[in-house]
Amino acid sequence: MKKDIALFSSNRFYLLITVIGLVFYVGVYFVLPSQMDEKLSLAMYAPVVPPAFSQLTEHEGVDIKYFTDEESLKKAVLNGDYQVAIVLPPDIMDTWAAGGKPGISVYYASSAPLEMNAAIVALVKELSYAQTGQALNFETTEEILGPDMLGNQIALRDRMRPLLAVFILLVEILTLASLIAVEIEQGTARALLVTPLRVSDLFIAKGVLGIGLALGQSILFMELVGGFSYQPLIILITLIIGSVMVVGMGFLVASLARDVTAVTGWGMLVLILFAVPGFGAAIPGLISDWARVIPSYYLTDTVSRVANYGAGWGDIGTNLAVLAGFTAVVIWAGMATLRRRYQ
Amino acid sequence: MNLKRIWTLIRTEVFHGPKDVVLVMAVVIPVLLALFVNLAFGDIFTDRAKLGVYDTGDSPLTEKLVSSESMRVITYHNEADLKAATAGGAVDMGIVLPADFDTRLEANSVAFKVYIWGESQAKSREVISLALNDAVREMIGSVLPVNIESLPLGDKSSLPWSDRLLPLTVLMAVFFGGMMLPASSLIHEKQRRTLEALSVTPATISDIFTAKGVIGVVLAMIMGVLTLAISTSFGGSPLALVLVLALGAVLAAEIGLLAGAFIKDMNTLFAFWKFGGLLLFGPAFIFMFPQIPAWIGYIFPTYYVIKPVTDLSVLGVGFGSVAIYVAILIAIVIVVGLVVMNIIKRLSTQALRLNG
């Protein structure tokens, strides 16, 4: 194991990129928005505010700021402070009272998404209908699916946290498989086996190094990004199982590949496939139930549910059981196939 | 430098060179990435509200909702699918329109079932309600009591995520093939000591480097154009776009040759790729997140590849608007080219043998 650590640390470049990589992942986390802006932000200039429009401030999904003149409102839109703004005419109430149609201007930043303008136009229409006594009455039966997170949304960076943590683990498939492939390519593995060292000792040494590298980095990352705030023990156990899984995958990839280049090729394919469930955690609705056939789903889902939703043992017990089962299979398969390569 | 020898080396490399994972990855990964971005990311990262509709009858409301600009509407064929999609966050809200919806609407007693995804944002819920009201009012022929005028301010335009991800896919396509292929080919030669065999032929190191560089440039060009074709992003100046891609491909091949000259094994090359990827793909993040100050991009050499590519392909500007970036890119290509030439001069066959 000392030899493997020396092999890893003697390559200063490898060591450097491992550190830089970790800094990069932490940096990505902190660059992403820390809060979710879940309200429609809009500016309004209204010398006279009709009662229906004044109720806007009570809408849950709207954040409104009143301006004292039209020019400063337009300037705020141009500066990017607001994407959309409404300007009501001073005689709006009189016009309605006289049976006329007042003109309302909706200013929108040309960089704003099209749907933003359409949404505000629909809002103005609805308020105008309400003001003129034409409110619609729907009878709806509402059912909220999952916890209602209104006002307590998960920030994008927290959604990304499981993906980044799992990605750090998965990259170690490449590192471990590369180290093994180099030994096979250079014949040092066979040379080691003519010493009193047994194949099982070799696996233990490489396994401990792989687990140490993967687990150390993922723990450090989760610690830095606050991933241990809820149920740290569950997160830790999940990361340990995940680390063992990537070691097994590393053994498997190394045993299947002919050389370091092939290791990277196969390793990248495995990495991309195993990273897919992470995107599902970051972007809800992106992937459907088919992602459950990818074993890393149970790793990502567990980290996501515990770190972001405060899930407990009862909620993620099945996930951990599936993950542990797959890990046992993959570590056995990896050792069996790699043993054949060594011998 | 002898053109005939270079051509012979290129033919040998193409027909008898290693067809390894690097080549497969250089061809397959950019295509997969471009397909994935276009199929999946076209509508993912938008803040656009998503409504699911299961229409048990055949109400014209569904069609009106689908045509709404303020939200995206997905129709479902049964309530279970709608509920599952809402629970999973595929839609923010799901509505079940009863078979007698139109009849009840005429009688002014509208009733339907609504599923709300617990994590949907307040603004999405608001927008969907507004769009729903708007569509219903359109059906019942309400007369709008105001005249609304929509006026754009500013001259910037918004970009969907598929366009924001275009720089990343193009950079991957151009730089993976253009850089990795010459680099891995040189390293293979050094590891298998075939460069020594070449040294007894009339071919010079300059010929060898040029041949490998040309292959990298051609592959990078093909992959860059293919990626843009998949993304249907050729803009109004395709020739200018091809010119920029060609310059980008040359830059990629130059970096690849430098890497191949100094790196002695594939392991270190991939480590270099992992680290260098951060520098190469840095500008792609600037395009993804407009909140990041644009000046940060100026420090990355690949910015001068991707900025004109994006402006030409996505914004559809003319060559004149990107000429300054192209000029800087040409300067970078020349400087890196001079460095490569200097390295070639310094590298004797003996030096390469020692490196191997």
What pLDDT digit, counting tens, does each position of B225-253 carry? 888 777 666 667 788 888 888 999 999 99
Residue B351 vs residue A265, higher pLDDT: A265
Taking the C-alpha atoms of residue B305 and residue B174, their distance in angstroms, rounded to an integer, is 10
Cβ contact (<8 Å) for B114 and A118? no
pLDDT at A4 exceeding the cut of 80: no
Report the range of poorest mean pLDDT among A264-268, A302-306, A313-317, B80-84.
A264-268
Give Dmax over CA atoms of chain A in angstroms.
Answer: 102
Contact with chain B for residue A91, Cβ under 8 A? no
CB neighbours (10 Å) of residue A38? 22
Most confident of A257-266, B93-102, B200-209, B282-291: B93-102
Contact A323, A241 (CB under 8 A): yes
Whole-number pLDDT of residue B75: 92
CA distances from B152 to A39, A79, A91, A299, B266 (A): 21, 13, 24, 46, 54
User: Which residue in A228, A252, A249 sits closest to A295, CA to CA?
Assistant: A249
Cβ contact (<8 Å) for B146 and A101? yes
**High-pLDDT (> 90) share of chain A, %:** 21
Q: What is the pLDDT of residues B88-103, one digit of tens each?
A: 888 999 999 998 888 8
Contact with chain B for residue A333, Cβ under 8 A? no
B positions 23-82 inside 8 Å of A (CB): 24-25, 29, 40, 44-50, 68-71
Q: Which residues of B touch A182 (CB under 8 A)?
A: 265, 267
Q: Could you give the strand order of the β-sheet that contains B71-75, starting from the edge strand earlier in sequence?
A: A138-145, B110-117, B93-97, B49-55, B71-75
Where is A67: in which H helix or E strand?
Answer: strand A62-67
**Mean per-residue pLDDT over chain B, rounded:** 80
DSSP letter string, B182-237: HHHHHHHHHHTTHHHHHHTSS--HHHHHHHHHHHHHHHHHHHHHHHHHHTT---S-
pLDDT at A318 exceeding the cut of 90: yes
Token duo for residue B171: 């950079």
Contact B127, B144 (CB under 8 A): no
Whole-number pLDDT of residue B262: 85
Contact with chain B for residue A79, Cβ under 8 A? no
For helices A2-10 and A12-31, the axis angle rounded to 10 degrees is: 70
Cβ contact (<8 Å) for B46 and A150? no
Q: Which residues of B touch A285 (CB under 8 A)?
A: 50, 85, 88-91
Contact A134, B142 (CB under 8 A): yes
Residue B330 vs residue B209, higher pLDDT: B330
Residue B254 vs residue A181, higher pLDDT: B254
A81 φ, ψ to 5°? -70, -35
CA distances from B225 to A242, B58, B241, B284, B329 (A): 39, 45, 9, 18, 18
Cβ contact (<8 Å) for B29 and A268? yes
Residue B38 vs residue B271, higher pLDDT: B271
Contact with chain B for residue A256, Cβ under 8 A? no
Cβ contact (<8 Å) for A134 and B50? no
Q: Give the model's confidence band at B14: pLDDT under 50 very low, under 70 low, under 90 confident, else very high.
A: low
Q: What is the pLDDT of residues A155-180, one digit of tens each?
A: 888 888 888 888 888 888 887 887 78
Q: Identify from B73, B81, B148 which residue to disrupt to test chain A contact, counting A C-beta atoms within 10 A and taking the largest count.
A: B148
Single-letter amino acid code for the residue at B173:
A
pLDDT at B136 exceeding the cut of 80: yes
Q: Which residues of B touch A144 (CB under 8 A)?
A: 116-118
Cβ contact (<8 Å) for B150 and A121? yes
Taking the C-alpha atoms of residue B206 and residue A206, their distance in angstroms, rounded to an integer, is 42
Whole-number pLDDT of residue B338: 92
Contacts of B245 (CB under 8 A, 6+ apart): B170, B174, B220, B221, B224, B225, B228, B305, B309
Q: Give the model's confidence band at B356: pLDDT under 50 very low, under 70 low, under 90 confident, else very high.
A: very low
- B137 vs A20, A62, A136: nearest CB: A136
pLDDT at A53 exceeding the cut of 70: yes
For helices B166-191 and B266-280, the axis angle rounded to 10 degrees is: 160
Residue B1 vs residue B19, higher pLDDT: B1
Q: Which residues of A touch B71 (CB under 8 A)?
A: 115, 119
Q: Could you give the strand order of the β-sheet that contains A40-45, starting from the edge strand earlier in sequence?
A: A62-67, A40-45, A84-87, A103-109, B147-153
Whole-number pLDDT of residue A242: 94
Cβ contact (<8 Å) for A109 and B275? no
Report the range of poorest mean pLDDT among A74-78, A211-215, A245-249, B177-181.
B177-181
Cβ contact (<8 Å) for A61 and B124? yes
Single-letter amino acid code for the residue at A156:
L
Report the range of poorest mean pLDDT among A11-15, A159-163, A216-220, B232-236.
A11-15
Contact with chain B for residue A178, Cβ under 8 A? yes
Whole-number pLDDT of residue A41: 82
Contact A326, A248 (CB under 8 A): no
In this prediction the pTM is 0.65
Nearest 5°: the CA angle B238, B239, B244 is 95
Taking the C-alpha atoms of residue B250 and residue B177, their distance in angstroms, rounded to an integer, is 11
Is B200 exposed, middle or buried (CB count within 10 Å of its CB: 0-12, 13-18, 19+)?
exposed
Contacts of B323 (CB under 8 A, 6+ apart): none
pLDDT at B350 exceeding the cut of 60: no
The chain B residue lying nearest A276, using CA atoms, is B36
CA distances from A222 to A163, A208, A329 (A): 11, 20, 27
